Amino acid sequence: MEERHGDAEPAQEFEAALAPTEEPQDAPEEVQKKGAAAGWGRVFRGNRMLWVTAGVAVVALAAGLVLGRFVVSPFDAAAAGGTPDPGLPTVPVEFGELRNDITMRGDIAYADAVEVTLDTSSFAGAAIVTGQVPEAGTEIDTLSVVLEVAGRPVIALPGELPVYRTLKVGASGPDVTQLKEALAAAGIDPGDASSDVFDEATANAVGRLYAEAGYSAPEPEEGAEDMLRSAEDARLQAEQSVTDAQKALEEAGRGPSEIEVREADNQVNSLWRQIVELEREGQDASDLRDQLEVAKLQRAALDEPRDTSAEQTMLASAQSGLASADEALADARVDALPFLPASEVLFLDDLPRRVDAVNVTRGSSLEGAAMTVSGATVKVSGTIAQAEAELIEEGDEAAIALPSGDEHRAVVTNIKTGDDGDRATVTFEPDPFTPEQMEEVQGSNARLTIPVGATEGEVLSVPYAALTAGPGGESRVEVVRGDPRDGESADTELIVVETGLAADGYVEVTPTEGELEAGDLVVVGS
């Protein structure tokens, strides 16, 4: 194994230098001293760097001892000097406007996107898009024609219940109620709004709806108009029959006229005179007597009530025919009145809406979702604690912090308490955004500030901790008139104050006894 000599050479030299020089036993003492001195000289000359390093270490140790004895840190000096007497904890009285704001986070976005699927069940063949195809960004509002299919419009109306059947006279239910409400919202009188029945007034309102949209009402079924005219003619005839029957009954029930009675009386009297003359002359008047008996019977019959059963039967039959004609006419009119096909109306809530995407083109067959729409107006909503929600109300103004650092005005439109009762959802309607602003804030979560109180101008205010209660319950602050570093012995004065608006840990104060100015030092936490 190879020996390493590099590290051992200085030690060997050191030992060799210290080794005594071989001198004769009888060498003089002076010679021996010179030899020893020469040995130490060789040690210093051969290990100069080692001795320099050792010297530096000795000097550093001495310097450390001196610094440790005479140089003292501030902390050690403070500890050696003892703890100073504590002063009074004070803050200056502030002067300025005091505001109490509620801060929350809110999501900024259009209303939720909705896929628009149209009813095509009433089409015998394919539902072909023929026109009125909107572009992305188009706004859909009440009475807007969303699309034209097979030459017929699809009219937008406000409502949440989807259309599921054709509505015509006689129909009833919540979808009819929704239609009437939508017509009223469009400024069209739907008739009795409290009724859920589609009546003639509602049908006429639907006719006006189509006129407002720029289209004719749907054509009635083939032959319906002819049936209506026939029903109208039959009704007139039935009505005339009733009139004739009523006249005949009235005539039958009136009895004989004065002329008929007079003629009957004259007939009886004439026959009686003839009989008297003949018998006075001695002639046979038996024939005249027979005629006289008949005339008397006829005269008596005039005084008896007449039998009108035949006339009454004729009238009843005529009235029954009129009732049947009325029913037939009503049915014919219903078939001819305006109606609302399920394929020609689209109910959307939160109108107006904005078209986000269109899935059809002119000439294409309508299948699946025709388009996607979202709310046309921007909504901002967020949640806050119920206790904070009770401090605001609808109509309050708020400020939205924009990414640019500017503030944008908004108004509280709805406050809804959650099911747990601990938090509430607040909805805002912001002022219109510019296109550039909308591009920045769409889909973002922004900070909103709602002022719920502010002082009228600048006021004095102090922290809550500076207030104390007096013996009568009055509020006070302790003002330091001397040096607060004097601690408990500092000169102070109790000032009675009236408190006002509280915000951000500070409360408005107005001195009622004593003087208080901005910058005065008041004691806190005492």
Q: What is the pLDDT of residues 225-250, one digit of tens each?
A: 778 788 889 999 999 999 999 988 88
Q: Give the pLDDT confidence score for residue 227 in this predicted structure.
A: 82
Residue partners of 404: CB distance under 8 A and separation at least 6:
440
Residue partners of 496: CB distance under 8 A and separation at least 6:
470, 474, 475, 476, 511, 512, 513, 514
Per the CB < 8 A criterion, the answer to whether 379 and 109 are in contact is yes
State the DSSP code for 285: -
In a shared domain, residues 139 and 212: yes
- The more confidently predicted of residues 315 and 53 is 315
In a shared domain, residues 361 and 503: no
Against a cut of 0.95, is the pTM above it?
Answer: no
**φ, ψ (nearest 5 deg) of residue 245:** -65, -40
Inter-CA distances, 28 with 23, 25, 40, 414, Å:
10, 9, 20, 121
Per the CB < 8 A criterion, the answer to whether 62 and 70 are in contact is no
Inter-CA distances, 479 with 94, 258, 293, Å:
13, 123, 140
End-of-domain residue from the set 325, 357, 373: 373
> Across the strands, what pairs with 508?
461
* C-alpha–C-alpha distance, residues 146 and 156, integer Å: 6
Q: Identify the CA nearest to 438 among candidates 348, 354, 350.
A: 354
- The more confidently predicted of residues 47 and 218 is 218
In a shared domain, residues 392 and 446: yes
* C-alpha–C-alpha distance, residues 116 and 129, integer Å: 14
In-domain check, residue 499:
yes
- Is 461's pLDDT higher than 70? yes
In a shared domain, residues 482 and 346: no
In a shared domain, residues 158 and 141: yes
In a shared domain, residues 367 and 418: no
Q: Give the pLDDT confidence score for residue 5 in this predicted structure.
A: 43
Residue partners of 484: CB distance under 8 A and separation at least 6:
87, 88, 90, 490, 521, 523
Q: How many separate helices (H) and strands (E) can be counted in the chain?
A: 12, 22
End-of-domain residue from the set 326, 352, 373: 373
Tell how strand 468-469 and strand 521-523 pair up: unpaired
- The more confidently predicted of residues 105 and 307 is 105
In-domain check, residue 179:
yes
Q: How confident is the model at residue 188 (pLDDT cuts 50, 70, 90)?
A: very high
Q: What total of structural domains would you count in the chain?
A: 3
CATH, residue 481? 2.40.420
In a shared domain, residues 476 and 413: no
Q: Give the pLDDT confidence score for residue 48 in this predicted structure.
A: 59
In a shared domain, residues 343 and 468: no
* C-alpha–C-alpha distance, residues 311 and 245, integer Å: 7
In-domain check, residue 513:
yes
* C-alpha–C-alpha distance, residues 477 and 467, integer Å: 5
Residue partners of 366: CB distance under 8 A and separation at least 6:
118, 120, 126, 127, 128, 129, 147, 149, 360
CB atoms within 10 A of CB 210: 18
In a shared domain, residues 507 and 427: no
CATH, residue 404? 2.40.30.170
In a shared domain, residues 150 and 208: yes
Inter-CA distances, 350 with 141, 160, 514, Å:
9, 9, 60
210-222 average pLDDT score: 87
Give the structural domain span for 123: 114-220+337-373
- Is 455's pLDDT higher than 60? yes
The DSSP H or E segment spanning 39 is helix 29-46
In-domain check, residue 109:
no
In-domain check, residue 438:
yes
In-domain check, residue 22:
no
Question: Which residue bears the tokens 């409400």?
Answer: 181
Inter-CA distances, 163 with 158, 184, 343, 357, Å:
12, 18, 8, 22
Q: Provide the token pair at 457.
A: 């101008």
Summarised one tens digit per residue, pLDDT across range 255-300 is 777 888 888 889 989 989 999 888 888 888 888 888 988 988 888 8
Summarised one tens digit per residue, pLDDT across range 83-101 is 555 789 999 999 998 888 8
CA quadruple 432, 438, 444, 447: dihedral sign: negative
- Is 143's pLDDT higher than 60? yes
* C-alpha–C-alpha distance, residues 243 and 318, integer Å: 8
In a shared domain, residues 210 and 349: yes
Q: Provide the token pair at 515.
A: 């003087």
Query: In a 3-state reduction of DSSP, which class is residue 416?
Result: strand
In-domain check, residue 84:
no
End-of-domain residue from the set 454, 480, 501: 454
Summarised one tens digit per residue, pLDDT across range 411-445 is 999 999 988 889 999 999 999 888 788 878 878 89
In a shared domain, residues 465 and 437: no
DSSP 318-334: HHHHHHHHHHHHHHHHH
In-domain check, residue 188:
yes
Q: How confident is the model at residue 53 (pLDDT cuts 50, 70, 90)?
A: low
Per the CB < 8 A criterion, the answer to whether 127 and 366 are in contact is yes
